[in-house]
Amino acid sequence: MLGPVHEDAERCLQAVRSKDARFDGWFFTAVTTTRIYCRPSCPVTPPKAENMRFYASAAAAQQAGFRACKRCRPDASPGSPLWNHRADAVAKAMRLIADGVVDREGVPGLAARLGYSVRQVERQLLAELGAGPLALARAQRAQTARLLIETTSLPMAEVALAAGFASVRAFNETVREVFALSPTDLRTRRRAVPDTPGVLSLRLPFRAPLCPDNLFGHLAATAVPGVEEWRDGAYRRTLRLPRGHAVVSLSPRPDHVACRLALSDLRDLPIAIARCRRMLDLDADPEAVDERLRADPELRPLVDKDPGRRVPGTVDADEFAVRAVLGQQVSTAAARTHAGRVVAVAGTPIADHGLTHLFPTAEQLAELDPAVLAMPRARKTAFAALVDALASGRLDLGVGADWAKARADLSALPGFGPWTVETIAMRALGDPDAFVPGDLGVRIAARNLGMPDTPGALIRRAQAWRPWRAYAVQHLWATGDHAVNRLPS
């Protein structure tokens, strides 16, 4: 389903008339007679075709003067898969906006990160999304405000500050304009306030189907002591955020992922949500991925058995790169031990019933005594080179990173071969086409399925899987009997 869906009016009409939830987040339907905009799956009777307008973003619909539907809540749709699965400037801009860059650094800060002028960034976003960076950030603030209004008992002044508004007046005006309700009216519609003070209970939507096995199984099996754990059916971990830290608990449910967040600064809420969604690959389009992979006769039975497999990501790309080096050529258990030792010595201490630290930053790791690293000299050299490149800013693995440049910069570091580079591209950068043909698990799975198992032959075979080779890898790994492939009990 890749491409500007909102420009294909006939396709949009069919999706609205069939109330197809697969299109939620891909585009938004605005109705000129009611001045309301909806998600395609809105349960109300579809309006006449001549009264519908289609927009690529909620921000564009809002900017055109439409208000969010009170029934289908289009602002709570899953995000568009395009922004996490593309490497161009618009996709990078959308990831950076979701990560709060415009709120913290303004549009000039966003433009500087992208290497463009402010005018160029605004022109590109307007051309593709119908809204500029300020409007997109405003739409995100409105959604954050609604979450806080409906899931907490915070005073409205605190909600306004936490959502990123410059004043209570701007907060009130935006909420009324976007939702056609005052903040007080929205609060009367809220769900029950969480039982635990200071903890936000949220639902993270996704496009069905979703196979949670390898997703949560991988996170639980590789959990770093003190930073992550699997407890009572939930994956829990600490998050380092721009203004403070958080502890998140994530549990798979049939139609959503239950999310409980404890934040030291509520202004980090939208950033924490965006990072958790990226880690769980919740904005993916499983129908498009599975359709492409099913075209391969050897992959088809795997996809049919477990449709909707996701690629486990990370909440911190620098952290994952460090862990990838610590885990080179050792077992999962040994990698956890190495990482846990590093965290205990260099991490930032916190206290949260079993979780004790934030994973250390590159700057903290640069001060680490090499004696702590019980690893061969070559891997210590790779570790030191990576930490230095991250701490100095020469290596950028953030949400706005250039994937091709990041790969080249990683490859130039000592001890970084194709497996490490592509694993970081897959899990940290979020490239859906990252591929590890030399991985032993991939080669064994290919051989068992009757495919060629040499790296060169696998690369040729995998051309037909593009741009979803990272998802094919998840299916191949799932053929092995390993804890990362199973949902923990």
24 is catalytic: no
Identify any residues that bridge with 54 across adjacent strands, giving them in sequence order. Answer: 29
Considering the candidates 99, 103, 285, 439, report the single residue annotated as catalytic.
439
3 state SS of 19: coil
Considering the candidates 12, 24, 38, 433, report the single residue annotated as catalytic.
38
Q: What DSSP line would sit under 150-215, residue for residue?
A: HH----HHHHHHHHT-S-HHHHHHHHHHHHSS-HHHHHHTPPPPPSSTTEEEEEE--PSP-BHHHH
348: its two tokens: 């930032």
Burial of 301 (0-12, 13-18, 19+ CB in 10 A): exposed
Burial of 256 (0-12, 13-18, 19+ CB in 10 A): middle
55 and 77 Cβ atoms separated by less than 8 Å: no
439 is catalytic: yes
DSSP conformation class of 393: T
Q: 92-104 burial, b for 16+ CB within 10 Å, e for fewer? A: bbbbbbbbbbbbe
The residue type at 130: G
In Å, how far are 157, 179, 254, 268 from 56, measured between CA atoms? 32, 18, 27, 26
Identify any residues that bridge with 348 across adjacent strands, giving them in sequence order. Answer: 358
Residue with tokens 């690529």: 56
State phi, psi for 362 to the nearest 5 degrees: -60, -35
- Walk across the sheet containing 228-231 and list its strands: 199-204, 257-263, 244-252, 234-241, 228-231
3 state SS of 216: helix
Say how far apart CA 386 and CA 414 lie, in whole Å. Answer: 9
Q: Residues 132, 137, 141, 147: is their CA dihedral positive or negative? A: positive
Task: Cite the active site residues.
Answer: 38, 439
